[in-house]
Amino acid sequence: MFPVEIIELIINHLAVDDNRSSALVTKDLLACSLVCKPWVPLLQKHIFARPTVFGGTDSKAHLEGGLAYALSNNPALSRYITALKYSFSSDENACDTSFSQFLRLPRLQTLVMCGPVGSRNGISFKEPKAPNHACKFGFRSMLTHYLSFGSLTALTILWVKDLPFYTILSSPNLERLQLEYCSIEVVGDPPPTTSLKYFRPRLVTNFELAVFRPGTLLETLSLDGTIDESLIGSGEYDLTKVFPDLKRLYIAGVAPRRCMGKVLETVPPLEHLTFEITYVKTEPCLDSVKNSIRRCAKSLKVLNLYLTVTTLCKTVVDSLHDLFLSIKGHNVLDSVEIMIHYRHGYLHPIYENIGHTIDQWERFSTMMSTDSDMSFPSLKYIYLCIIFDDPCYFVGPTRVDRAEVIRYRKDFRNALSTLESHPVIQLRRRVRFINGRHFIFPRDVDLFFKAN
């Protein structure tokens, strides 16, 4: 028999999610428990750590083998549950009393609640008017219970409207909050204090930054899919006053709008800025980003720029060249990541429209390499990625000339040779061809369920 320490190492290695689905990981752990019963107590803390439960008429949690069934027969298992994903339907008549087990999770720290996905009107947090629809074990009581209980440190809510925003902010230990496809209800004054450190509103209707009290100690703010005129409201808004401790900002939008510029021009000294924007026909204007970077010159360490353009945009690389030229010798950048997605490349031949960018990239490489110990004294890493796509791949022949992509990849590598030979800066370059319908830039500040 192996020592307990060896067994724990084996189980911990098996429980690591190395690109496997959580269901497959759980299946492997269950199979392991059947092989050697003395291992069961060690396996249980992984098997029950992050369960997913489906509510409503399709729920099988109360059946033998379901989570509610397991907890009712062995309440001690509840101490292993640190994260719970609860997906519920719009059928509010489906009230299962066995779900009372989910109100007794003393170590629950992460809660993900997902309403009916794709519902046009969503499901409201407000109690239904018909009393026979009320369920004291439904998603409302679960959310209210754990917000008041104070154990939650991370909360994600999807597809729910009329959320009591100030009640959520008042939860004493809540550090990370992510709302998607929701609407909020703001009643009264904001709480005097909040422990929130991370906030990501994505496609949240009726949301304004003014709902926060000045002096909120938020450290990470992600504004993707939320950028429009209503975000700022009618008055002037200064992020420096509202979020004085803000260190990481992710900002994304469909087009360069006035409010995006206003947000970028009032940021406090950031350490990490990720800027993603889509330009359909217009040339990119990075003036707001440039001003923001200058404001943060003595603090900004990580800069990520994700741009979606068409091959008709001629000056993308020149704009980037001018941006970095403007901060030479006045920065503490440690890492730079630039991704340019040329959308609908099949409409315009690559070299006919952006062949000139090879010379622009060579200028960029020379500028970044020359006297870099003085110009970019802290810079250690640069990632440059060019993406071409053909979204019509599934409905017709690929119309992007692959030979041109290969040629551009070779010329792109040669253009960056000066930067690639730099003794300190590590360069990673890539030219990709995407033949799917959609391309999504990586989300570097997402609150993922598995990560907690």
Residue 61 structural domain: 49-128+136-202
Segment 166-172 shows an average pLDDT of: 93
Answer with the residue of higher pLDDT: 123 or 271. 271
78-94: average pLDDT: 79
What is the rounded CA–CA span in Å between residue 56 and residue 237? 43
pLDDT in the model for residue 49: 87
User: 427-447: per-residue pLDDT in tens?
Assistant: 999 999 887 666 677 666 554
Per-residue model confidence as pLDDT tens digits over 338-375? 999 988 766 667 888 888 999 999 999 999 998 877 89
Mean pLDDT of 200-220: 87
Average pLDDT over every residue of 394-413 = 79
Report the candidate in 53, 49, 47, 63 with the shortest Cα–Cα distance to residue 138.
53
Over residues 408-419, the mean pLDDT reads 96
pLDDT in tens, 287-343: 778 888 888 989 999 999 999 887 777 888 998 999 999 899 999 999 999 999 988
Q: Would the CA dihedral through 72, 77, 82, 88 be positive or negative? A: negative
Q: Is 90 found in the same domain as 181?
A: yes
Of the candidate ranges 114-123, 189-198, 269-278, 443-452, the one whose mean pLDDT is the lowest:
443-452
Provide the number of structural domains found in the chain: 3
Asked if residue 230 and residue 101 are part of one domain, the reply reads no
Domain limit, last residue, from 202, 217, 232: 202
- pLDDT-based confidence at residue 396 (cuts at 50, 70, 90): low
Q: Is residue 342 part of a domain?
A: yes
Residue 197 shares a structural domain with residue 222: no
Q: Check pLDDT > 70 for residue 227.
A: no
Judgement on whether residues 302 and 323 belong to the same structural domain of the protein: yes
Whether residue 11 is contained in a domain is answered as no
Residue 113, domain member (yes or no): yes
- Domain boundary among the residues 202, 220, 247 is at 202
The C-alpha R_g of the chain, in whole angstroms, comes to: 25
Where among 145, 174, 202 does a domain terminate? 202
Residue 7 lies in a domain: no
Query: In the predicted model, what is the mean pLDDT of residues 63-89?
Result: 84
- Gap between the terminal Cα atoms of the chain: 33
Q: Name the residue with higher pLDDT: 397 or 109.
A: 109
**Residue 196 and residue 231 in one domain:** no
pLDDT of residue 193: 87
In a domain, 363, yes or no: yes
Local confidence band at 20 (pLDDT 50, 70, 90 cut-offs): low
pLDDT tens digits for 147-168? 998 899 999 999 999 999 999 9
What is the residue-wise DSSP string for 307-362? Answer: EEE-TT---HHHHHHHHHHTTTTS----EEEEEEEETTGGGS-HHHHHTTHHHHHH
The answer to whether residues 198 and 219 belong to one domain is: no
DSSP 58: G
Please compute the mean of the pLDDT values over residues 226-242 and round it to a whole number: 68
Residue 56 in any domain: the answer is yes
Q: Higher pLDDT residue, 90 or 276?
A: 276
Confidence of residue 121 (pLDDT cuts 50, 70, 90): low
**pLDDT tens readout for residues 184-196:** 999 888 898 899 9
Choice among 1-15, 233-247, 348-362, 410-424 with the minimum mean pLDDT: 1-15
Q: How far apart are CA 141 and CA 138, in angstroms?
A: 6
Domain shared by 305 and 372, yes or no: yes
258, 165: one domain: no
Residue 130, pLDDT > 60, answer no
On whether residue 68 sits in a domain, the answer given is: yes
Q: Please choose, from the candidates 59, 104, 44, 46, the residue with its C-alpha nearest in 3D space to the C-alpha of residue 78.
A: 104
Residues 193 and 230 in one domain: no
Same domain, 180 and 322: no
Q: Among 42-51, 89-98, 106-115, 319-328, whose mean pLDDT is lowest?
A: 89-98
- CA-CA distance, 152 to 300, in Å (whole number)? 31
Percent with pLDDT over 70 in the chain: 76
CA distances (Å), 350 to each of 321, 392, 399, in order? 21, 16, 11
What percent of the chain stands above pLDDT 90? 35
Does 114 share its domain with 228? Answer: no
Q: How far is CA 27 from CA 31, 35, 73, 94, 398, in A?
A: 6, 13, 21, 29, 40
pLDDT for 247: 94
Query: In the structure encoding, which two tokens stand for residue 267, read together?
Result: 């940021």
Q: Looking at the predicted structure, is the pLDDT value of residue 129 above 70?
A: no
Higher per-residue confidence, 404 vs 7: 404
> What's the pTM value of the predicted model, to 2 decimals?
0.84
Q: What is the pLDDT of residue 116?
A: 83
**Cα 37 from Cα 27, distance rounded (Å):** 16
The pLDDT of residue 306 is: 92
Residue 452, pLDDT score: 40
| pLDDT top residue among 278 and 198 | 198
User: In whole numbers, what is the pLDDT of the chain averaged over residues?
Assistant: 81
For residue 446, tell me if it sits in a domain.
no
CA gap 163, 127 in Å, rounded: 11
Measure the CA–CA gap between 178 and 334, rounded to whole angstroms.
28
Q: What is the DSSP letter of 402?
A: H
Please check whether residues 63 and 180 belong to one and the same domain: yes
More reliable by pLDDT, 5 or 301: 301
* 89 neighbors 56 (Cβ within 8 angstroms): yes
